[in-house]
A and B are shown apart, each in its own frame.
Chain A
Amino acid sequence: MRPMAQVAMVMNLDKCIGCHTCSVTCKQTWTNRPGMEYVYFNNVETKPGVGYPRRYEDQEQWHGGWTLDKRGRLQLKAGGRVRKLLQIFWNPNLPSIDDYGDPWTYDYQTVIDAPLGAHNPTAHSISALTGKDVNLHWGPNWEDDLAGAPARAMADPNLAGLEDRVRMEFEDVFMFYLPRICEHCLNPSCVASCPSGAMYKRDEDGIVLVDQDRCRGWRFCVSGCPYKKVYFNHRTGKAEKCTFCFPRIEQGQPTICSETCVGRLRYLGLFLYDADKVLEAAATPDPQDLYEAQLSVFLDPEDPQVRTEAERAGIPTDWIEAARRSPVYALACRHKVALPLHPEYRTLPMVWYIPPLSPVADVAHAEGYDENDPDRVFATIESLRIPMEYLANLFTAGDTSHIRRVLRKLAAIRGYQRAAQLGIDPADDLPEQVGASPDDLDDLYRLLAIAKYDERYVIPPAHTEDAGRLMAQHEQLFCSLDTPGGPGMGGTGPEGVDAFHGGASPGASHQFRDDAGRQRFNLFGWDGSGSAPGLFPEESAP
């Protein structure tokens, strides 16, 4: 056993109202820079729908994630190492920016400067890539609330095989929102695809990051991730990805998307897992067994032996304690109501989802039944093939039995609580019917409906006791990410180098202030236009 800790997230899809607050705050925090206009580390998709980027879930098209070779060994779906090195000049699996949506802004100035008149002035759209006018054909959230669904939603890869039975007519339609971030997988194919070795999974908390200094822009991480959660910054020529807000997590704070989630549907906490079992689980032959296989990788923090081993592996005691209180462990392992997104990609994703009961409850309601009556909902769950199969395609590689089990449990919680509140006796066997004890249902109810901030986010701060000593040992010259356009955004970085960076606004760096505070001229950064003040000493009077 080799225990490791992983920070993970669970989202309760029933509660997502599709408000996109998470996307907006994430964007403001991380991707509000030139080169990243088209990027949403957190995006919210309406399902059914083709998603962002278009049809990213179809791995026969994009070849993301892992697959098994003929002898049952794990290999990257896009091919082996030699193939990658040969395809380095043109990556056949890379989505184009049109698949994400050509980023645009509007010519607001025209509106602002418009004279008084009878007609409203209009602001036309401008491409952020070229600065020229652009007609909009697609965008990151083009299909919000099923917009255009009758024409396009059938292209959703999760509807494969259901086409003849799903109808996109208003009366029959079902929908829900799927907020997505990077899954910080246990077996990350993005890391495995990066030829430079710039991507890594952190020992302490399992967060997957791109080392901006080592990335050389080979783009295989972008295509290697089946969830398409690594993005290429087209100005800096480097890959960037969801960071799980690691600077916040290290302080024990929730990620920005969780902190600001209006539906309060995100849970953050630790998993302890056995690193020795990861590859074996990812190589499980039948994709429908991958969910169970991943469950078997997690370690029960209540088990004294696990705790001793974890301690021995160097996991701090407060982290082990936090793992015991972890809401994500409770939802995924103890109550088994959270499911991984697309386990068939074999990356062992670590952002899990509680499937939504609402599409089913809606059907029960539409047929004139009380959607809180567990019997009715149970019956509906049994009889409905859609959206059950659709949800199964998302969360269990097509196995509807787990979806049924989870939805029944969710329905049972509602029925049980409703009965308690109305003072009627719930059916005695209701908990047993869903394989739970009354205490379990109470516990779940607390977690899903009441859990306050401290219960939703159980994040032990990182241990930084010896950070100062280490810092002193290799004195840093500067933080290279603080260059203009970089994710650090905080400063000017090393003087002069940004003149060599593609797309950096030319001439931006030919002036700087020296230590004495004088304005100086830097010939390296000069684009040759305009004057060169300060290059030569002032002419002294004769």
Chain B
Amino acid sequence: MSSTWAYFWWVILPYVAMAVFIVGHIWRWRYDQYGWTSYSTQLQERRRLKWGAPLFHYGTFAAIGGHVLGILVPKSWIDAIGIDEHVYHLFSATAGLIAAALVIVGMGILATRRLFVPRVKATTSPVDWVAMVLLGIMVILGIVVTAINAPLGHEYRDTISIWFRSLFTGSADVSVALQAPLYFQIHAVAAWLLFLLWPFTRLVHAWSYPLWYLWRPYVVYRSRKATPPPEPGTGGRKWRKIGTPY
């Protein structure tokens, strides 16, 4: 790969994707609260969704956890707590394959649903199709990576992970990324494309997982009148005890 192209794939694309990801989300949040939803189709079809949606989502959670562990956490830290490379790989390959299986089965069910159940298909907008195809590519590549790498045992924590973290220090390390096998490289590039598109799709619902529900009072009261927002710097109380009325 010529160095210009390497520079594009491993430096320019990531930064552009990050910028679009952040600015896109701010823009969407400010201008399109009404479109910010999960677009559930459970009303139209519930039998396949019952298996597809939980499998896909819980599998994805596992996969995200694996990525955090493998990419964000430096290898030295894991070594430091006494988990050597062999144990780590055994664990990550097993857990990774399980997560991959959950995701691919879930995704398969969801995709057939979207493609072949007319009621669901009718609600699918062009952006949804694009997001679905991209997500599908991502997932398949991810599974290929996990499956191929399980026997080969490439230590991505010495290549891709270091490059990824280097993006955030301002001195992107292209050379380590290029040491990774091609299937890792393609997976990483596809990921940036997904991030690029993320703020403009229904994927934004991921940021709205309502954890807040766990500690808010059951019944919410609100005044018909808009209450004036607290002036900046006046420090309104942000946290309330469970059960205190609004």
Contact = CB atoms under 8 A, between A and B. Distances in A.
B233 interface: no
A130 interface: yes
A481 B33 CA distance: 10
Interface stretch (A152-160, A199-207, A360-368): A199-207
A192 B45 CA distance: 25
Contact of A89 (B57, B126, B208): B57
A500 B201 contact: yes
Most buried by A among B54, B123, B245: B123
B205 interface: yes
A216 B218 contact: no
Q: Is the interface of A mostly helix, strand, loop or mixed?
A: loop
Given A218-B210, A503-B123, A90 B54 contact: yes
A188 B222 CA distance: 14
Interface in B195-231: 200-202, 205, 208-214, 216, 218-229
Contact of A96 (B43, B57, B127, B208): B43
Given A201-B220, A483-B34, A500-B127, A97 B43 contact: yes
Given A215-B37, A467-B225, A503 B220 contact: no
A127 B123 CA distance: 13
Interface stretch (A55-63, A174-182, A328-336, A469-477): A469-477
A191 B216 CA distance: 11
Nearest to B223: A203
A89 B124 CA distance: 18
Interface stretch (A20-28, A44-52, A234-242, A294-302): A234-242
B208 A196 contact: yes
Nearest to B54: A89
Interface in B110-143: 118-119, 121-128
Nearest to B32: A497
Which size bracket describes the interface of A in this complex? 35 or more
Contacts of B214: 81-82, 85
B22 interface: no
B92 to A, nearest CB: 25
Nearest to A35: B123
B49 interface: yes
A502 B125 contact: yes
Contacts of B202: 237, 500, 502
A213 interface: yes
Contact of B33 (A232, A234, A480): A480
Nearest to B219: A191
A129 B119 contact: yes
B2 interface: no
Given A192-B219, A199-B220, A503 B53 contact: no
A474 B125 CA distance: 34
Interface centre among A82, A90, A203 (most CB of B within 10 A): A90
B42 A90 contact: yes
A166 interface: no
A431 interface: no
B42 to A, nearest CB: 6
A217 interface: yes
Given A82-B214, A130-B122, A216-B208, A500 B32 contact: yes
B32 A237 contact: no
A132 B212 CA distance: 41
B220 A216 contact: no
A523 to B, nearest CB: 12
A401 to B, nearest CB: 31
A91 interface: yes
Contacts of B88: none
Interface in B17-72: 28, 30-46, 49-50, 53-54, 56-58
B8 to A, nearest CB: 23
A527 interface: yes
A197 B213 contact: yes
Contacts of B201: 500
A471 B225 CA distance: 9
Q: Of A216, A462, A467, A503, which is in contact with the most chain B CB atoms at under 10 Å from its CB?
A: A216
Interface string A78-114: 0001101100111110111100000000000000000
B31 A497 contact: yes
Max count, chain A CB within 10 A of own CB: residue among B32, B46, B50, B226: B32
Contact of A470 (B32, B35, B212, B225): B225
Nearest to A478: B31
A90 B221 contact: no
A84 B123 CA distance: 25
Contacts of A447: none
A90 B218 contact: no
Given A130-B122, A501-B125, A90 B50 contact: yes
A494 interface: yes
A506 B35 CA distance: 15
B222 A200 contact: yes
A486 B32 CA distance: 12
A127 B120 CA distance: 13
A199 B222 CA distance: 9
B38 A216 contact: yes
Interface in B156-208: 200-202, 205, 208
Contacts of A480: 32-34
A466 interface: yes
Given A127-B119, A498-B35, A501-B35, 18 more contacts: A81-B213, A90-B54, A91-B42, A92-B50, A94-B46, A129-B119, A129-B122, A130-B118, A191-B220, A201-B219, A204-B225, A213-B33, A216-B38, A217-B40, A218-B210, A219-B43, A470-B226, A474-B228
Q: Which 8 A-B pairs have the closest CB atoms?
A: A195-B210, A213-B33, A192-B218, A195-B213, A237-B39, A217-B37, A237-B37, A497-B32
Interface of B: 28, 30-46, 49-50, 53-54, 56-58, 118-119, 121-128, 200-202, 205, 208-214, 216, 218-229, 245
24 contacts: A81-B214, A85-B211, A85-B214, A88-B210, A90-B49, A96-B43, A130-B122, A203-B222, A205-B224, A212-B34, A213-B33, A217-B38, A217-B205, A219-B43, A234-B41, A235-B123, A237-B40, A466-B225, A470-B225, A471-B226, A473-B229, A500-B201, A500-B202, A502-B125
